[in-house]
Structure 1
Amino acid sequence: MIAFVSFFSIVLFTLLLSSVFRGQLKESHLTSCLSMFVAMTKSTLIGILVALWIPDIVYSTIIALLVSFLLISIMTYQLATKIFLECLSALFMGSMMGTMLSLMTTNNEMISILFFTALYLISCIIAAGLWNKDNVQHFFKGFPRKVMLTSLFVVILLAFTTMYDLLPKSTNEVEPEPEHHEHH
C-alpha cells in the first residue's frame, strides 16, 4: 500500500511542479540544477517502486526508464531544451540506480520507500522554493502554498499507510496463548 501512495506522490508532484516551473519560464544555472535534482530523486524512487512490482532487473530498469521519461517530459514541458536534456541525463542514472537498489535491499523495502519518498518530497519543496526565490524577499516565503499543503497531505497519507502496512505484520507475529481447560 505504501508503494502505491509513494507512486501517487510522484504523479501528484510531477503535475504540481510542472505548473510551478512553467509559471516562471526562466532559464538559469539554478533552474537547470533544481530540475535535475528533482528528476534524479524522482527517477530513483520510480526505479525502486518498479523493481518491487517487477523483480527482473532488465524489465524493471526498462520500465522505470520509460515511466521516468514520461513523467520528466510532463514536468519539463515547455521549459528550455537544456533543462529537459539535463533531466533526461539524470533520469537514466536515477532509474538504473533505483532499480538496482530495490533489488539489492529486499529485506528493507519499506524503509527504502519511506526514505526515498521523503528525499523526493524534500527535493520538490526545495526546488519549488528556490525556483520562486527571485520573487520574494524571504526564502521561506518562496515556497508555494500548494506545494506545502500537498507535501503535508502526502506525509499524512504516508504515515497512515505505513501504520496500515505494519499492522498485519505485528498481528501475525503474536502467537495466541494456548487455552487451558480445567477438567473436574
Structure 2
Amino acid sequence: NWNQIDKSLPNEPITLVIPASNHGTREVFQEKMVEAGCEAYEYFKSLDKDAQKKACSTFRKDGRVIEIAGDYTETLARLKTSPSAVGVFGLSFYDMNRDKLRVATVNNVVPSEKTVLNGTYPVSRPLYFYVKGEHLKSVKGLPQYVEYFLSKKATGKGSKAERDGLIAMSDAERAKVLADFKAGKTVK
C-alpha cells in the first residue's frame, strides 16, 4: 500500500497500469525502470543471469499490475476509475493529456522534450533507423526514401512523426546524419 512507502500517503493499494509486453513503451519501462530497479537489490545479484531475467520480468498476477494491450486511452480510463493507480505512458500522450494526468519525476527530473534530448531524463531511448548497404543499390527508390526519412518534412520539427510522438533531432544533427548517409558512411 502507499502508506508502506510513506506514512503520510493513504492506506490504499498501489496498482500499476502498464502497456502489454508487445508495446515499445513497455520495453523502455522494463529496461530503464524495472531491470534497473532489480539491479539495486543484493538478492538479485546472487541469482544467475536466467533467474535474474525471470525475476525482473515477471509481474504480479493478483490484480495489482494491469497490462493493457490497447492504446494509452485505455490506460487513462483505468486510471480514472482507480485513483490510487499509477500508469505508464509515452511522453507525447502525456503532453496531450496534461490536464488529466500528473507526472512523476525520475531522480527529480521531469520528463520533457528538453530532458529527453539532453539525456537527463533516464526513461527514454533513441530510435535507430538501419538500412542494409547492399540494398541501397538493388532496391529501387531506397536511397530516396532514406533521404526523405531524414528530411525536416518527415522527421523534423513540426513533422507528422513529431506530432505522433517522435522527438525530432536538431536540424544540425539531422543534417550531419544525412551528410554521412550521402557520403556512404556506415554505422556498425
- For the criterion TM > 0.5, the same-fold answer is no
Q: TM-score range, shorter-chain basis?
A: under 0.3
TM-score, length basis structure 1: 0.27
Structure having the larger proportion of residues in helix:
1
TM-score, length basis structure 2: 0.27
Structure having the larger proportion of residues in strand:
2
Q: Higher relative CO (CA 8 A, sep ≥ 6), structure 1 or 2?
A: 1
